[in-house]
Amino acid sequence: MELTFKEFLQGGKEQLARAGFAEVEAEHLLAHTLGISRMDLHNPLTVENALSAIGDLTIAEETYWKLLDRRCAHEPLQYLTGVAYFRHLELKVGPGVLVPRPESELLVEAVLTHLEKLPGAVSVVDLGSGSGALALAIATEAPRTHVIAVEKSADAIHWLKENVSFIDEKVRILESDVATALEGVKCDVVIANPPYIPDSEVLPKDVATHEPAVALFGGPDGMRAPRLFISAAARLLKPGGFLAIEHHETQAAEVGDVLTVEFEDILLHKDLNGRPRFTTAVRR
């Protein structure tokens, strides 16, 4: 049985490689099929037990090959396994919600650094929360925070509720448009990853075909949503409040210009590839 297992794992790797995908994704899909972790694939006893629990190797093989076919058709790996990894979190994701990106982890790091300077309890609002990646990372890594996750998409709200209930039920979910959310409320920190991709930009097939356009595109220049989110942040933040907003690598100057109206201490941050990725600022 172990030899057969190794053979169809190798077959999966070869199928993905021919389609231009990383071979390691075959391990993620097989682990998902067997209900074990990817690391457990290297433990023969765990694999044997998982296959025994399924009872019929043919069923496992059929499930695995179907997943491979769907991946080769450019369905996101995270949608197929139902899991996206973000910092220390395992987030539930699927159709209708944006898959969190590693680049956003740097924004969280900058916010956590700022939070360390603040005394007592801190109120944080995550605008356009999606799966809750930013909100839940902040809530779990900075326990003194009171986090509100704002999201208007019903599809995304489904995944947001799943993740909040599973990871940290203290995070409050507000189903609302960013422009009108929390009227009359003031907070210490706003975090945001708005739709900022220009409408004309060509995206990878995985993203363009399957991930929600509403969470990706921000108008002809991509700035429609960032402007709206900055305006909402200015309304929500107390004087001295902190904003961290992700944006397109070409939008750094324009985001900075919009922020100068009501913010100071504007600082551009680059991702690990040296590309402008997000900006932080302090409300005047």
Question: Residue 14 pLDDT > 70, yes or no?
Answer: yes
Confidence of residue 1 (pLDDT cuts 50, 70, 90): very low
> For residue 4, what pLDDT is reported?
66
- Residue owning tokens 């043919």: 58
Question: Residue 50 pLDDT > 90, yes or no?
Answer: no
For residues 234-262, give the mean pLDDT. 98
Would you state the structure tokens that stand for residue 211, as one six-digit string? 């991930």
Summarize pLDDT for 65-110 with one digit per residue, the tens. Answer: 999 999 999 999 999 999 999 999 999 999 999 999 999 999 999 9
CATH of 97-283 given 3.40.50.300, 3.30.465.10, 3.40.50.150, 3.90.1300.10: 3.40.50.150
* E strand residue ranges, 35-171: 83-86, 89-92, 122-127, 145-151
> For residue 36, what pLDDT is reported?
92
Are the C-beta atoms of 10 and 52 separated by less than 8 Å? no
Would you state the structure tokens that stand for residue 5, as one six-digit string? 């297992």
Summarize pLDDT for 209-222 with one digit per residue, the tens. Answer: 999 999 999 999 99
Question: Residue 128 pLDDT > 80, yes or no?
Answer: yes
Structure-model confidence comparison of residues 77 and 9, the more confident one: 77
Element (H, E) at 58: helix 57-72
> For residue 142, what pLDDT is reported?
97
Question: Residue 57 pLDDT > 90, yes or no?
Answer: no
* E strand residue ranges, the chain: 83-86, 89-92, 122-127, 145-151, 172-175, 187-192, 237-246, 263-270, 276-283
Summarize pLDDT for 191-245 with one digit per residue, the tens. Answer: 999 999 999 999 999 999 999 999 999 999 999 999 999 999 999 999 999 999 9
- Rounded CA-CA distance 107/191 in Å is 8
Summarize pLDDT for 138-181 with one digit per residue, the tens. Answer: 999 999 999 999 999 999 999 999 999 999 999 999 999 999 99
Are the C-beta atoms of 125 and 134 separated by less than 8 Å? no
Model-level pTM? Answer: 0.94
> For residue 52, what pLDDT is reported?
81
Q: SS3 breakdown of the chain: % helix, strand, coil, rounded to 5?
A: 45, 20, 35
- Rounded CA-CA distance 23/13 in Å is 5
* Burial state string for 65-104 with b = 16 or more CB within 10 A and e = fewer than 16: bebbeebeebbbbbbbbebbebbebebbbbebbbbbeebb
The contacts of residue 170 (CB under 8 Å, 6+ apart) are: 139, 146, 147
> For residue 3, what pLDDT is reported?
43
DSSP state of 144: T
* 9-23, 34-48, 83-97, 167-181: least confidently modelled range: 34-48
> For residue 147, what pLDDT is reported?
98
Domain boundaries, the chain: 2-73, 97-283
**44-54 and 57-72 helices cross at what angle (nearest 10)?**
100
Would you state the structure tokens that stand for residue 241, as one six-digit string? 């409040």
For residues 8-18, give the mean pLDDT. 92
> For residue 2, what pLDDT is reported?
46
Say how many C-beta atoms besides its own lie within 10 A of residue 4's C-beta: 11
